[in-house]
Every structure is written in C-alpha cells, then in structure tokens.
Amino acid sequence: MLKILLTADQIRTRVAELGAQIDRDYPTGPVYLIAILKGACFFLADLARAMKTPSRIDFVGISSYGKGKSTSGEVRLTKDLDASIEGCDVIVVEDIVDTGITLTYLMKVFAQRKPRSLRIATLLDKPERRQRQVEVHYTGFRIPDKFVVGYGLDYAEDYRNLKDVCVLSDDEP
Ligand code: IMP
Ligand code: MG
C-alpha cells in the first residue's frame, strides 16, 4: 500500500529553499553536484535548476542495498566519476541517508581526491536508523523510520517515477 508522506508541492518548495541556501554558500561556483545513482537523479535535476550558482554534474554508482528493504552492509563502487574533483567544490547529492554506511564510504573515497570542499545534500534523512555518523550540510526532510518510495526512491526498481514521496507498507489497501 502507498501512502503519501511528502507531496510534489512540498518537495518543490523545499528544493527551492535548498537551492537558495547553496547559492548563498557558493556565490561564484562552479559547484560539482555528484548524484549517487540511481535514486538521487531526480533530486539532482531539480536542485541544479533551483540554483543560480553555476553547477556541473556527475554521477557515481554505488551498490549497498540488495533488492529488498534492508542494507547488505557492503558497499561497492560500480561507476566512478568521469573527471577529477581535485580543487573543486563538491556536493554529493543523495536521495536518503539511512544507516549512513553508503555516504561514510563515499566521503572517504572522495576526500582522498583532494576536493577544495566536500559537502552532502540529501533530500531525506532517517536519523533513527543511523549506524555511522555522517555530517550532512543540506537536508530536505527528516522522516520517521518508514520505507519510502517515489521521487527517485525505489523498491526493487519500482516506483521511482512517483511525483510524491510515499510510504510503502505491506498492508492491503
Ligand atoms: P545507507 O547506506 O543505509 O545510508 O543507505 C542509503 C541508501 O539506501 C539510499 O541511497 C537508498 O538507495 C537506500 N534506502 C534507504 N532507505 C530507503 C527507503 O526508505 N526507500 C528506498 N531506498 C532506501
Ligand atoms: Mg541510493
């Protein structure tokens, strides 16, 4: 069963606020927005357009989740960046921070590449589930410990194209 948690309108408003905040923090740019495939693509596309500061985009592929709802705890880089980030202002764009395992791994990898600055922007945060502490600079919404889909987030590759973020439960409708 799907139940709306965040409407497309709420998301649009919040993404605009985050874009404005990033503009203030990086007045000149360019800012390298790096989305974690595949879930963060929708957020990246909207965030980049909500910003006035010039941006460049890149993508990184990570596998940390299986097909189910729980993490495997194992993180692997499946697609690397196209270009060097040395000396660049980088914002890693994520759909949701859950246990923190994915971002802890990725931030370690990216920090070694000597960017000028390195921050995280996430649309959603489930703080109750955290196993590794990660410093998140830009958070769209803090949400309860529920499995959510839509606006890029999937369950076994389904539901990514929903405009709202919805809670997916096993209950019958
Ligand atoms: P972490 O390493 O546990 O923080 O995992 C974060 C990743 O797990 C996210 O990028 C999502 O792909 C996935 N994930 C965590 N919670 C959810 C959820 O509620 N719905 C869909 N995917 C989720
Ligand atoms: Mg993801």
pLDDT at 55: 98
Residue 98 annotated among the catalytic residues of the structure: yes
| Strand segments (E) across the chain | 2-6, 31-37, 55-65, 71-79, 89-97, 117-125, 138-142, 148-149, 165-168
pLDDT at 75: 85
pLDDT at 171: 73
**Mean pLDDT in runs of 10 for the chain (173 residues)?**
97 98 97 97 98 98 67 81 97 96 94 98 96 96 97 97 95 66
Which token pair is 167? Answer: 């809670």
Question: Is residue 160 classed as helix, strand or coil in its secondary structure?
Answer: coil
For the domain made up of 9-22+29-64+71-145, the CATH class stated in words is alpha beta
pLDDT at 68: 57
With CA atoms as reference, report the closest residue to 102 among 129, 151, 65. Answer: 65
Q: Could you say which of 98, 125, 154, 164 is catalytic?
A: 98
pTM of the predicted model as reported, rounded to 2 decimal places: 0.94
pLDDT at 16: 98
94 lines ligand 1 (CB under 6 A): yes
> From the CA of 50, how far away is ligand 1's center (Å)?
24
User: Which residue's CA is the nearest one to ligand 1's atom 17?
Assistant: 147
Eight-class DSSP state of 132: S
Residue with tokens 């410093």: 135
Peptide bond into 27 cis (omega under 30): no
Distances (CA, A) of 88 to 29, 95, 113: 9, 22, 10
Q: Which of 72, 95, 151, 167 to mutate to test the pocket of ligand 1 (most atoms within 8 A of CB)?
A: 95
